[in-house]
Amino acid sequence: MTAPAYRRILLKLSGEALMGDDAFGINRDVVSRIVQEVAEVVSLGVEVGVVIGGGNIFRGMAGAASGMDRATADYMGMLATVMNAMALADAMKHVGVVARVQSALNMEAVVEPYIRGKAIRYLEDGKVVIFAAGTGNPFFTTDTAAALRGAEIGAEIVLKATKVDGIYTADPKKDPSATRYGKISFDEAIARNLQVLDATAFALCRDQKLPIKVFSIFATGALKRVVMGEDEGTLVHI
């Protein structure tokens, strides 16, 4: 069998990816399908780190958060990512994948604190490491956390799992003639003002020469095709 193109990846999952068609919260069927995709690549010997967002849970608190101090709202969002990470780890256990949750915020009664060396050891042992609570700082998104953790653990690529199957020349919902980029350079993505990751995360990946792949987590088998180096999604590279 052909060897995977990547041996260590950082998978960025938005909280919304866990919602399915629900207005907010966690859709168990969707989570189960995602962890099956992760389990398949783990079985290939790929080391997987995951950064999870919290938008699906925070969306349900949007009314209460309206007008709130930005730093306070960001900390609430970090707590939402911890809940998502715990749900993801629990679902992985049911498919035979050992996962560890590490949080950038100290809450040792619930999850481990983030320790880089321990995270790398877990990866080398074949465990999935789920990084929760973003960077642990307000004003930074989970996109930035994904870029940071990806660089710290020596990931070969950051995989941004979205609802669309890559980056297009225009919004495919509005322009039927829009075409998907197979690959695009960081410089060209900047010149075309393509919203790949937030600006801080994008700059960090570019500076660390850490490529980004944007793909749809809802396409069956897409994650495996990405790690095998097949033409799936859009690659952003130096």
Q: How far apart are CA 75 and CA 81, in angstroms?
A: 10
The annotation places the binding site for ATP at 12-15, 55, 59, 162, 168, 171
Would you give the DSSP letter of residue 200? H
Q: Quick one: CA dihedral 238, 194, 214, 170, positive or negative?
A: negative
The annotation places the binding site at 12-15, 54-55, 59, 74, 135-142, 162, 168, 171
Would you say 3 and 149 are in contact if contact means Cβ atoms under 8 Å apart? Answer: no
**Following DSSP, what letter does each residue of 115-141 receive, concatenated?**
-HHHHHHHHHTT-EEEEESTTSSTT--
The annotation places the binding site for UMP at 54, 74, 135-142
- Nearest in space to 181 (alpha carbons), one of 164, 199, 197, 198: 164
Would you say 118 and 173 are in contact if contact means Cβ atoms under 8 Å apart? Answer: no
Please, what is the Cα angle at 54 between 48 and 57, to 5 degrees? Answer: 135
